[in-house]
A and B are shown apart, each in its own frame.
Chain A
Amino acid sequence: IAGITQAPTSQILAAGRRMTLRCTQDMRHNAMYWYRQDLGLGLRLIHYSNTAGTTGKGEVPDGYSVSRANTDDFPLTLASAVPSQTSVYFCASSASFGGGPHNEQFFGPGTRLTVL
């Protein structure tokens, strides 16, 4: 069982370039999420999707876009990368959206992105 996979594992990117981080889950979860984690800080929510075809903004959405064409995939795109987007990016999924008592979130291994 793969769970959640993310690609690439790491990437160095020149400022101004476009980049898409990939996330795929095989658990048929309805909800998916993107977080970023910066040194010394907790995870911050960028965007989320509560079901295929819908997306929403999290705490830090500026500079990022997402799409949810199907249940399994939730790519995160940086249209024009800036150095402040250097971070570790985690994708997550859960069976359904929100705070249900058994609605555990499963996280991928992360993508380490450096923007120079």
Chain B
Amino acid sequence: DAKTTQPNSMESNEEEPVHLPCNHSTISGTDYIHWYRQLPSQGPEYVIHGLTSNVNNRMASLAIAEDRKSSTLILHRATLRDAAVYYCILRIGNTPLVFGKGTRLSVIA
């Protein structure tokens, strides 16, 4: 199984950008990189996904390294509501999501 490595926790000041890193050195050519987040006392929710090119949506941006062995989720202006656990996940073939421990993001007012 391809796996991801994320820092256990990160901290950010409100209104500042946040860069959440993820290493996935064993990624294969057809694996998509997905990010989900889990707000306190809620189920996970989809954030963004990508394959090779950088991606933007209303929630975040995803920057993927040229060799695809790492990626970075970018929250452009962190708010208190962005405090959550962020999961970087590789979608491998015909399999459901496999969650690691993720990165717990704290946002300081």
Residues of A participating in the B interface, judged by any CB pair closer than 8 Å: 31, 33, 35, 40-45, 48, 58-59, 90, 92, 97-110
For chain B residues 38-56, which have a beta carbon within 8 Å of chain A? 41-46, 49, 51
A31 contact set on B, CB distance < 8 A: 96
| Interface pair B101/A107, CB less than 8 Å apart | no
Query: Which A-chain residue is minimally distant from B45 (CB atoms)?
Result: A107
Q: Is the interface of A mostly helix, strand, loop or mixed?
A: loop
29 chain-A/chain-B pairs, Cβ below 8 angstroms: A35-B99, A40-B101, A42-B87, A42-B102, A43-B97, A45-B96, A45-B98, A48-B96, A59-B98, A90-B43, A90-B44, A92-B97, A98-B93, A98-B96, A99-B32, A99-B92, A99-B95, A101-B51, A101-B91, A102-B49, A104-B46, A104-B49, A105-B36, A105-B46, A105-B96, A106-B46, A107-B43, A107-B44, A109-B43
Q: How far is the CA of A104 from the CA of B96 in the complex (A)?
A: 10
**How many positions in chain B have a CB within 8 Å of any CB in the partner chain?**
24
B17 contact set on A, CB distance < 8 A: none
Q: How far is the CA of A99 from the CA of B31 in the complex (A)?
A: 8
Q: Is the interface of B mostly helix, strand, loop or mixed?
A: loop
| Interface pair A101/B43, CB less than 8 Å apart | no
Q: How far is the CA of A73 from the CA of B14 in the complex (A)?
A: 41
Q: How far, in Å, is A43 (CB) from chain B's closest CB?
A: 4
Q: How far, in Å, is B2 (CB) from chain A's closest CB?
A: 11
Query: Is B100 on the interface with A (CB-CB < 8 A)?
Result: yes
Q: How far, in Å, is B82 (CB) from chain A's closest CB?
A: 18
